[in-house]
Amino acid sequence: MKANDIVVIGAGLTGATIAQQIVEKTDRNVLLIEKSSKVGGMCATTPYKDIVLHDYGPHIFFTKEKELWDYVNRFGDFRQYRAQVKASVDDRLYSLPFNMNTFQELWGIKEPYLAAQKLAKSKVKFENPDLNFETKALSLVGEELYQKFIYGYTKKQWGCEPKELPAFIISRLPIRLYYDNSYQSALFSGIPIEGYTKLVENMVDHPRIKVKLNEDGNNYKPDFHTGAIDEFYKYKFGELGYRYLSFVWARAMLDKYGVQAVNFPGLNVAHTRIACNKHLGCHDSECNIVSYEYSHGEMADGRIQAYPINTPKNNDLYQKYKSKSDINFTGRLGSYKYVNMDQAIKLGMETAQCLKNSK
């Protein structure tokens, strides 16, 4: 390592983007440190037979920003793909996000104007619906949809009552008065054909980027860090809240699902959702490999730190750490923001820009 090498911790999408942008836009060298045995962070993948396994649940890259779509397409071919999700409720599968297919399946209503009338009657009125997750959800969809599809899922996913959570989390899900089961509405949407780990390997494949795997980074003074700020500073101001995920893998002779993801909002089962990996593009494969996803409040072996819990208290604590740090923390964990993959890349681009401007 040379004295003016830039040290980046974490080879997920943000860390890889920082490294890639630095060598593209400056003459500096980058040392990219990753604690796991492969690059890709939370969207890491493993090729298996004719399919690609998503190690930490299904990841579909989607964005409204052409610049970000063009950027990822530089590093691998993408399969055009729009996420399809069902919810398993009362032993039936319903379409998500809420759209005319859901309203027909649930209420037998096929005309949008009738669904609009029914929804309008169901919505609960609050003076300030943005107060928390629950008031926001009830104000958008009403009690029936909230209880059937949202309350239990959210309680399992976040480990608390939904009213303790911020409203923006439920605003991630669109509500459509037309027939469209695409989980997201973004203009550009796809999955890298060879998987995200290969995509990230291509991003950092450069003579001036050195990648070190299986290293926790404790021996380095980082310039950019994409991991948890509280852990880095040994929790000196207290612990930030995160949700951790674990996955149980199973292989079946036959396809039981026919779709890439099924959510389980019922509190009678512990997992939040399953992913049927072949339906992330290779629908005709005979590999029926399914991962069951569980959400937890603490780290343990085999779990990944996945979501910041953005309550006002946690956000304030994060700001305290951040204001006393001379290291640039970024990415989903490092910036303590619930961002999607495209925004993780954007954070990486903006962060690398800081270096370019300041050196």
Binding site residues, ligand UDP, CB under 6 A: 87, 96, 149-150, 153-154, 157, 169-170, 172-173, 263, 265
**Ordered alpha helix ranges (H), the chain:** 13-25, 66-73, 100-107, 112-122, 133-145, 152-158, 196-203, 229-232, 312-323, 331-334, 341-358
Q: Closer to ligand UDP at the Cβ: 238 or 297?
A: 297
Q: How far is the CB of 1 from ligand UDP (least distance, A)?
A: 36
Q: Closer to ligand UDP at the Cβ: 6 or 167?
A: 167
> Is cis: bond before 47, omega within 30 of 0?
no
Q: How far is the CB of 89 from ligand UDP (least distance, A)?
A: 9
- Distance of alpha carbon 54 from alpha carbon 275, whole angstroms: 9
DSSP label at 84? B
Angle among Cα 275, 276, 282 to the nearest 5 degrees reads 130
Q: How far is the CB of 28 from ligand UDP (least distance, A)?
A: 34
Q: How far is the CB of 53 from ligand UDP (least distance, A)?
A: 17
Q: Closer to ligand UDP at the Cβ: 217 or 308?
A: 308
Q: How far is the CB of 83 from ligand UDP (least distance, A)?
A: 9
Q: Closer to ligand UDP at the Cβ: 86 or 225?
A: 86
β-pairing, 30-33 with 6-9? parallel
Q: Closer to ligand UDP at the Cβ: 263 or 351?
A: 263
Q: How far is the CB of 157 from ligand UDP (least distance, A)?
A: 5
- Distance of alpha carbon 267 from alpha carbon 15, whole angstroms: 36
Task: Judge contact between 60 and 185, C-beta under 8 A.
Answer: no
Q: How far is the CB of 99 from ligand UDP (least distance, A)?
A: 13
- Distance of alpha carbon 10 from alpha carbon 194, whole angstroms: 21
Q: Closer to ligand UDP at the Cβ: 225 or 243?
A: 243
The residue assigned the tokens 């049927």 is 276
Phi and psi angles of residue 22, each rounded to the nearest 5 degrees, phi first? -65, -50
Q: Closer to ligand UDP at the Cβ: 155 or 320?
A: 155
Sign of the dihedral defined by the CA atoms of residues 17, 20, 22, 25, in that order: negative
